[in-house]
């Protein structure tokens, strides 16, 4: 079982309660018991977000009020250490992601997010084994 601590806690933000509930249940049944926090209101998640708690953020791309990319940017200003997986049911083009980051992209954030093979995205619906594999990979 993974240990509780900054490197192992997981925050899931998705405006669909069924998604956050399903992700949390899957993760808790596979070694992450009492290590998963969920929010269905992205602005509330941002308001409550504190540095030093999470090792991984799983953020839905399309949410009302603030989209997942903007939410991640603002959370990163509070704590830039956690890794991120963006969850989406849609294809996301490089140019769409590019629009959320400074022109210079000095830290190569776009390449880090997109990676060589889909990078930091998980496609909804996602099967249980893939979710667990991706989460474990990010936290190791």
The tokens describing 73, both together, are 């940017």
pLDDT in tens, 27-69: 999 999 999 999 999 999 999 999 999 999 999 988 999 989 8
Q: Give the predicted TM-score (pTM) of the model.
A: 0.79
Say if residues 138 and 85 touch (Cβ distance below 8 Å). yes
CA atoms within 13 A on the CB side of 136: 14
Domain boundaries in the chain? 10-139
Query: By mean pLDDT, which of 67-71, 77-81, 115-119, 136-140 is the weakest?
Result: 115-119
The tokens describing 71, both together, are 């939410």
Fold of 10-139: Rossmann fold (3.40.50)
């Amino acid at each position: 079982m993974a240990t509780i601590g900054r490197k192992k806690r997981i925050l899931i933000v998705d405006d669909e309660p069924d998604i956050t509930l399903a992700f949390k249940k899957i993760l808790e049944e596979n070694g992450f018991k009492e290590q998963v926090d969920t929010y269905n209101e992205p602005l509330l998640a941002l308001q409550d977000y504190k540095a030093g708690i999470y090792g991984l953020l799983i953020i839905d791309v399309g949410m009302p009020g603030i989209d997942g990319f903007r939410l991640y940017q603002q959370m990163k200003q509070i704590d830039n250490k956690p890794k991120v997986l963006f969850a989406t049911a849609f294809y996301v083009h490089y140019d769409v992601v590019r629009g959320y980051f400074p022109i210079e992209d000095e830290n190569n954030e776009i390449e880090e997010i997109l990676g060589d093979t889909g990078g930091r995205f998980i496609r909804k619906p996602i099967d249980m084994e893939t979710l667990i594999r991706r989460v474990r990979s990010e936290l190791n």
